[in-house]
Amino acid sequence: MIGKYVNSYEVDEIIESGGMSTVYLGIHKDIGYKVAIKALNPLLQKKPNYIERFRNEALLLSQLKHPGILSFYDYIENKDGIFIITEYVKGQTLEEYIDQVSGPISETRSIKILLKILDAVEYMHFNNIIHRDIKPSNFMITSDNDIRIIDFGIAKSLDDTNHLLTKDGTKVGTTFYMSPQQVKGQVLDRRTDIYSLGVTLFQMVTGQYPYEKSTSEYEIYNKIVNDPLPSAKDFYTGVSQKMLDVISKATQKKPLDRYQSCDELRKDLSDKPETTEVQSTVSLKTRLIEAVDVDLNTRIFSKTFWQHLILLFATVGFLAAVVSGIYFLTKKDVRHVIEDKQLLLAGDSLNAEPIEVLNYGETVKVLNFSARPAKDGIYWIKVYSLRGNAGYVPKSSLEIPQIYRQINSVFGNTLAGTMVPSKYKRALRKFFIQNNMMSQNYTSWKLFAEPKKDFEYSTISEGDFNNNSIPDFACVISNIETNQYKLLIFFDNLTEYYSVDYKNTAVKIKKVEKDKNGGKWFMGETFKHRDEAGIFSEIQKFDYLLSEGLLLYNTDTKQNLLYLFNTYEKMFNVYVQPK
């Protein structure tokens, strides 16, 4: 589609791609006006139910005119496909904002965002439309901090009796955010969106999903139907009781126990807790005593006075400790964990007892630093975790929010952030900055990771490429705007790296073991062989590797390239492998 026209709009680039449709950036050929072009997957254009659903999305959007809802421009069916034309909204989704920028969003900002969302959803409900797929990735935060609902793919009019769109007993929605009634395939009303808004609020204030991503869909369905939504406070200790109550009521199992409308939810969110004045009951009286009236043998301060004074000092000391504790727990020094599955330890030693496991991207509050390295040579930081535990982590496993955002912008998916070791995360950030590949925490170059499987090509590999018994790191990054690929190899000393460009062709890599474990490979040497007829021919020689190598596979040419580091010349030799 890139370079083609949909009416007067040239298709410029892909914004987002999914199973049912792809969204492109369209630019008007005469005035340069930008729009979003949503194209139905060509494989689905012969299936009536998918075409009907796509038309339904266009129809519902055309009926909604609200500043918090994506503006509809046109619906087109022609020989090139089926398209919905809408306004182009520049920004990032609420999910991206949580994952890449904020982590847990402060309750004040969460309320402001949700109130804007409620305005749009309430307007939609007023027009007898339910969304059925409320979730953070379907809300766009614009560059001027407004909110838009951007996807109406499975929205439904309550007045519509078309059973092609959804049959009774059919599950629709995104698993984590589905109401019990959605899971059961029951008839839905506005209160299903209320439930999904409650789960969305949970994710906003905790920065996390209510269920582990590794949990099976069947298990999640069971939990949604039978168990209360997990407490947000178990995921982030800073969640207030008021917020817990709002989330709990919004996500009740029975629709009658939930908020019955967006307005009810809005009122509870907007209510401020009552404040009470505390009046002092202590009265201080002063008695002036003339010096001549004082009997030196008389005790001016009684035993009771001294007891009260001691009690006063003890109280002041206790309050000072409390204030000090509050200061440490609320101070601004917040860091992000950049080493996935980092252990929070009970002491400043690798041998200390583990308290909990910290995941990549989690925030922790710094309590104090170690000015000098411990006996094991590690600089330790004492921190307070999201789950309310205090413990120690290596300083190298944490980063300040600004640097974390830059690191995280490099990763095209969550898996990439979990697979790359922390020291190579920093190396990637440094490479991007030094080579002007990053601007204001954004880069079009991304590292997309794939599940790691033995003997298969991927985009990430670790190996001892320079043969010093310390693992090095290699990865393939791609430019989502220009279809370019780049191979990067970082050595363990972090002072050397190797980079090579591949234009308009996708490449993948894997490590090759040395010696017999890796098999024999062609490394440029040949020898002459004479056959029985006395004719000489050149034969390629295959040998075992003396150090670990990196095999690169070109998905277009189906060609394998073997990268071997020459420790004498300090460079990589590249050998094309016979097909």
Catalytic residues: 133
How far is 306 from 312, CA to CA, in rounded Å?
A: 10
- How many CA within 13 A on the CB side of residue 158? 15
CB-CB neighbours of 427 under 10 Å = 19
Kindly state the tokens that stand for 578.
């016979």
- How many CA within 13 A on the CB side of residue 20? 14
End-to-end CA distance of the chain: 33
User: What are the DSSP E strand ranges found in 143-200?
Assistant: 147-149, 156-157
C-alpha distances (whole Å) from 10 to each of 1, 3, 31 are 9, 6, 11
How far is 432 from 99, CA to CA, in rounded Å?
A: 20
CB-CB neighbours of 219 under 10 Å = 12
* Phi, psi of 263, rounded to the nearest 5 degrees: -65, -40
How far is 350 from 480, CA to CA, in rounded Å?
A: 40
Amino acid at residue number 379? Y
> Which residues neighbour 486 within 8 Å (Cβ) at sequence distance 6 or greater?
445, 476, 477, 478, 479, 499, 500, 501, 502
Looking up tokens 């993948």 gives: 508
The string of DSSP letters for 488-547 reads EEE-TTSS-EEEEEEES--EEEEEE-SEEEEEEEEEEEEEEEE-TTS-EEEEEEEEEESS
Q: Is the CB of residue 70 less than 8 Å from the CB of residue 64?
A: no
Number of H helices, E strands in the chain: 12, 29
How would you class 529 by CB atoms within 10 Å of its CB: exposed for 0-12, middle for 13-18, buried for 19 or more? exposed
CA angle 531, 537, 538 (to 5 degrees): 135
Closest C-alpha among 425, 497, 510 to residue 459: 510
How far is 460 from 440, CA to CA, in rounded Å?
A: 26
* Phi, psi of 486, rounded to the nearest 5 degrees: -140, 130
User: What are the DSSP E strand ranges found in 114-176?
Assistant: 129-130, 139-142, 147-149, 156-157
* Phi, psi of 452, rounded to the nearest 5 degrees: -80, 125
129-130 and 139-142 beta bridge pairing: unpaired
CA angle 101, 104, 110 (to 5 degrees): 95
Amino acid at residue number 113? I
Looking up tokens 């409620």 gives: 118
- Cα 186 → chain centroid: 32
